[in-house]
Amino acid sequence: MSDASNPATTPDPVSNAPVADWHNDPTLSEKWKYRFNFFEKNGVPGMGSPSPQLRAAFKELSFAERVKVNMNFFALFFSFIYFGFFLKMWRQAAIAFGLIVAASIILSIFNLSNGAARGASMGLGVLFGLRANALYYLKRTQGDIGWKFF
């Protein structure tokens, strides 16, 4: 069964999991293809320690290319809305929303200052912006990634 939202996805005859041909997908912009190509050659960045190959490839990029590969500004500013409505990653949107709610509850319980609230908000935004590209790559190449966020 192929994914109706992705015309370039076909099922793998052995595992019946979707196999994406993102190279020929007309729905992906050149910016996404550039990111996906980098991830395919060098590995996907995670929250842990990056591999030596990924570190070396990342150092070879210019500043603008590093930002293009590593940061997603729509996810930075629109968090769970971007994950859910635009990237169609509903589980990751639920995780992002849950993190925002949990941070708000913790900040209100401990009655922390507005500066702490702004800092937590900015920190979560950066986290979402840094994870969006890698998570979308995993979704488009591996199909359903479940509740993975980190």
pLDDT tens-digit profile of 59-112? 999 999 999 999 999 999 999 999 999 999 999 999 999 999 999 999 889 888
- Distance CA(67)–CA(71), nearest Å, equals 5
pLDDT at 26 over 90: no
Q: How many CB atoms lie under 10 A from the CB of residue 140?
A: 22
Residue with tokens 């968090």: 79
Secondary structure E strands in the chain: 9-11, 18-20
Q: What contacts 45, CB < 8 A, 6 or more positions away?
A: 39, 54, 70, 130, 134
Q: Nearest CA to 137 among 59, 64, 78, 69?
A: 69
Q: How much is the pLDDT for 98?
A: 94
Q: What is the mean pLDDT of residues 133-148?
A: 85
Residue pair 74/82 in contact by the 8 Å Cβ criterion: yes
Global pTM?
0.78
Using 50, 70 and 90 to split pLDDT, how confident is the model at 18? low
